[in-house]
Structure 1
Amino acid sequence: MAVSVPFDEQYLEDLMEGAGIDALLATTKHNVQHLLGGYRFFFFAHADATGVSRYLPAVGIVRGKLDDSFYIGAGNEDWGTAGGAIWVSDIQNISWTSIDTARAAAAALEKRGLARATIGVEKSFIPADALDTLRELLPEATFVEVHPVLESLRGVKSERELELVRTASHGIIDSMQASFGLVQPGMTKHDIAEIFRLEQTKRGLFYEYALVTLGGGSMNRSPSSDVWRSGTSLSIDSGGMYEGYIGDLSRMAIDTEPTARQTDLLAQIETVQQEARTAVAAGKRGGDIFVTALDTISKLPDGANMKFVAHGMGLITHEVPRLTSTGPVPYFGAHANDPLKSGMVLSIESWFEDHDSGFIKLEDTLIVTDDGWEAPGDSARGWNRTGASL
């Protein structure tokens, strides 16, 4: 039975034409997964290194000729592709090195009359030896950056992809609440991160990281031997993944009644988070999320010490849409003036750093809809009480 193409064919063709690209080679696991409709070879799902080289899958797509598409997988990848869930008919599971992949890709492109074509490659990710081999075997071809094309294609998620984002987001919040019921003062940040890792794993999520911040003092969020003290705040911020798709959320906890100051600060953070949502809907200017949030912050008692950021996400963090040029990750806010589209996924986060009251943060995953937004995992937003007080 034929498998349908999992992306908008015409949109991809238009993107490639606009970039002047005749054919593309996707070699990152996230773009391969997107182009193949969710397929990721289980054997190398997270690791790349093998033998004397690395796993390097490649999807080749010719502009306007999807029937000429090809896939190059590892020498043992028949284990993965035999299920027949890939729409590409030309599957070559022959590669044990990055050079093997490049040679097979060059041969496939030449066979399709593209030896002198403009070929889009992922320059930040394709290994040097693979690109050298492509240039050696296709000396008359021109190799250009394909990243903007592929990330634009990924920007609007399908319903299947959105369901994976929902599962990841709900799983993260469930894992946080379960962890809050188990942690106690006297534990280290390493201890707390490990409890959270196990809770995520129980829920079928891939644990990527836990940013753990304890009370006042150090704002370093990496796991460490720092010990959590009773009466101080606990922040857990996680970007867990479900089948490659990310949910990115942050919640707060404490083992005692929060102080009036802590309660007030979290309430101010919540005000920013909720006001920012009023700027989210299909058709609204993406950069207005920042305009709304920063205007709200400017009117709050502790706004001078608050920070805010919003960014796109999906198979990677900080993908389309990019809404600011002044965020913590330095890139150009190329989509600040563009309208949001239904099916885009955003992370919206506000936080406050204070050496007395601690690091206080909320972060939410939002799905853009025609009439506003959906917030999967939108619970546990207040001061969650931990196991010491249960």
Structure 2
Amino acid sequence: MDEILVNQTLNQIGSQAKRAAAKLSQLDTVTKNRLLNQFAAELVTRTPTILAANQKDLRAAVDMPAKFTDRLKLTEQRIKDMAAGLRQVATLPDPIGNLDRGWTNEAGLLIEQKRVPLGVIAMIFEARPNVTVDASALTFKSGNAVILRGGKEALNSNLALANTLRYVLKQAGLDENIIQILHDTSHQTADDLMHLNRYVDVLIPRGGAGLIQAVLKNATVPVIETGAGNCHIYVDQFAEEKMAVDIVVNAKVQRPSVCNAAEKLLIHQAAAAKLLPPIAKALEAHGVELRGDQRSRAIVSSIKPAQDTDWSTEYNDLIMAVKIVDDEQAAIEHINHYSTGHSEVIITDNYQNSQTFLNQIDSACVYVNASTRFTDGFQFGFGAEIGISTQKLHARGPMGLKELTTTKYVVRGNGQIRK
């Protein structure tokens, strides 16, 4: 195991990140893209080593629930997918140096607003090794140094991935502290990282609601809230049956442990008798446990009674709550009340209803006739994502390169003084 950061204080790590960020901010786009492709190649080359490290973590997590180990597990294909994400980030436009706007004021000053890196980004995340690579790719391309603090359950996997990327940086003659991962995964270290205001410009948590709320409550550094996904699908009275079945099943079943999986199903009362039975049958064939209100249980007897807490719960599991609603407005009110602001769907062939839903739902991503599973940086064309922001400042939805930058004003004059 690489001895990186094992015996260093957090202040030393922060200082190293600050120095590395200053150098990285001046790196040209061609060099960054070349190194991103080298990251990808080295990941593929080291696949056996990375999988061996991941197996150590999986063996230690044998008593963990399936939804936990699904996020933790790496496969040859998942490593290839990470490499593909790195290569895609290399093809994306570099936001650094771009001008948002420019003008000349009355005093003759040329004022330009340009994109610059945030500086040092810290991340606290749970047992999701892919975050190590995704975050490193996006922070590197956007000119930011990154400090990663993963969960103890994924320590071996995260170190293997981070050491791979650091090796490429070192071989290229760059400061390997552009990417740093904490060996100490204690709660105290996480808490200290939340208060590292001298060095950290922004902190991004990735994980369950408990982790995110703990960071929001305790951090003194700026935080971008991400991830919690109590996502809804509303099946309108004008929905087509096959489309409704396909979308609901995909959104719930394809990967139930992630934040963009659908957790709630609302159906218009006029369509419930026709559409709920085939949807329920398809979901139950995939092992989904359904919990519903009285009206849904009167239509499908296998649905279990829902409790009040079900409407606000993010299951991350093969569980879905079902509710029959009187009309579209009732669906919109229910969603806006219980949603975490992540992703919501309407399935309908009625244009006006789709527009009403799009305009009135207050979430980061709102869909017509598509699965919630598309709320993903890779699917949006960002190459990867550093998180899905459910807040409104400073970013919202899947966060790619531009969301990891800020602006500064560059002002050019020829001797002006203010009178």
Please indicate, yes or no, whether the TM-score normalized by the shorter chain is above 0.5: no
Q: Which of the pair is proportionally richer in strand?
A: 1
TM-score of the pair, normalised by structure 2: 0.29
Q: Which of the pair is proportionally richer in helix?
A: 2
